[in-house]
Structure 1
């Protein structure tokens, strides 16, 4: 457990975030780095129903705010990797080790939801520590760079360039990733948080993606798995999500026909219904 001196809770200033994304934030020191953990103030406190959410490349855990309707039933912890992970490890290695560290304060077993880069962390963690993962939800899964469209990966880097380039290109990239139906407040959340990520940290996370190749390991995964994918995803093709689902024993694939790379932000109702149904089956 963490003493009051070991954590600091705050609600960001209203002008810094968009309506619907105002969430309490706990700053937790894990292995010498600052991890932001967002929570739902009206959410369940049942530790046995903990769901840890890992965001995409430049997003924070607050991007999962649209999952709030599920909070009364599930104890959500919205994990945000440090804006600058220690140079002693790659960002992927650091997150994997941190999730296992006592300072993370995670229960012995929990469900795991990962989006894009967060899905890479989630998948690697579930393969290494299946005994701790009750259920796994992969959103727009990234398991091998060979299946990611390189032009979209390159385009996504523009959103984290130093000023003034970030401010010029960020809204366009957010529209590409979020799709036409991503609400303006969701787009603003992605843009605002992505601009905080340094070019060096972006490069290090991209190097993790470029080095990733877990495709051949998927058949060994023994964790109940749900894959949710947007058919209009311009970064990760739908065919890749189908391939990932086919390789994971007993996995379930749900496709949102009108969604793009961020279905939990753009198609909240359908996304939440899939997740709630899946977790209810595998996290009694």
Structure 2
């Protein structure tokens, strides 16, 4: 016989949406299939992601360098290109020694034999990763086959105000910076950034200390490679989002005009992270370009 409590209707269980930002260990669908490797270069741990089942020749290696606070895993939407290109999704060290600027240290790590990179390869750099790509190619032109710069950062003159604003934000108390991360991800990705992409960006941004982020922003503030871009003699493709709130289209065009023979493509509906928001268009452009210059 049922008692009164068991006969009374149960209160409906409230629906709970999954958290916008997962735990650091919780990898979103679409990003979990990447293979993860950790290499120690100059005593610094470097995370490297690759696509499973790759059997592409080493001569078709493409090293992808992400922007501030992102990991190489943010390039996961480039997966369709892994059938013909050997994609190495590089994650710069989360911390750098006080003896070097982050840019200097990352250049030293990329150049070191312990990095395990082939003698020659192509580079894809996004935002801060584009600054690192430009600096690396200027320092080691013999090693770079082709260059893809996404939302390129080469001189602070066009973006100084925003960079200063961001440097002020990261000085805020850690809890506030932590809570601001989803908003920053929305600004970076724009309205087309899918939830799993936003979660990926936020989770990785929260791994980096505010001090390290500030040091890297100082690299951006000190950047002035515009007068040296004419020295780049490698095939170069520049991809810019038409709705990028951080790097204006005119700044990307400055970069393109200073690199001999550079080609520029604008994805009009994309923001700062076109490979995450418009992967098909991005992959078509980058795939055609790199396959032409990879061998």
Q: TM-score, normalised by structure 1?
A: 0.91
Q: CA deviation at 1:44?
A: 3.4
Q: Note closer, same or farther for the CA distance 1:102–1:161 as it changes in structure 2 (3 Å cut).
A: farther
1:43 maps to 54
2:210 maps to 199
Whole-Å separation in 2 of the counterparts to 1:132 and 1:123:
13
Q: CA deviation at 1:160?
A: 9.0
CA deviations 1:154-198 (Å, max 9, x no partner) are: 248747965421342111111111010011110110001001100
1:218 maps to 229
Does 2:127 correspond to 1:129? no
Does 2:285 correspond to 1:274? yes
2:98 maps to 87
Q: CA deviation at 1:81?
A: 1.0
Whole-Å separation in 2 of the counterparts to 1:116 and 1:91:
15
1:183 maps to 194
2:82 maps to 71
Matched residue of 2:201: which SS?
helix
Contact 2:102 2:216 in 1 (8 A): yes
Which structure: larger Rg? Answer: 2
Whole-Å separation in 2 of the counterparts to 1:194 and 1:232:
22
1:117 aligned to 113, 119, 128, which one? 128
What are structure 1's unaligned runs of at least 5 residues? Answer: 1-12
Q: TM-score, normalised by structure 2?
A: 0.88
Contact 1:149 1:234 in 2 (8 A): no
Q: More displaced, 166-175 or 61-70? A: 166-175
1:251 maps to 262
Whole-Å separation in 2 of the counterparts to 1:160 and 1:47:
42
Does 2:23 correspond to 1:16? no
1:26 aligned to 23, 32, 37, which one? 37
What are structure 2's unaligned runs of at least 5 residues? Answer: 1-22
Q: Note closer, same or farther for the CA distance 1:178–1:248 as it changes in structure 2 (3 Å cut).
A: same
Counterparts of residues 85-164 of structure 1 (less than 5 Å): 85-148=96-159, 150-151=161-162, 154-155=165-166, 158=169, 163-164=174-175
1:60 maps to 71
Q: Let me know the Cα RMSD of the aligned residues.
A: 1.8
Q: CA deviation at 1:80?
A: 0.7
Q: CA deviation at 1:25?
A: 1.2
Q: CA deviation at 1:153?
A: 5.7
1:7 maps to none
Q: How many residues align?
A: 272
Whole-Å separation in 2 of the counterparts to 1:14 and 1:175:
19
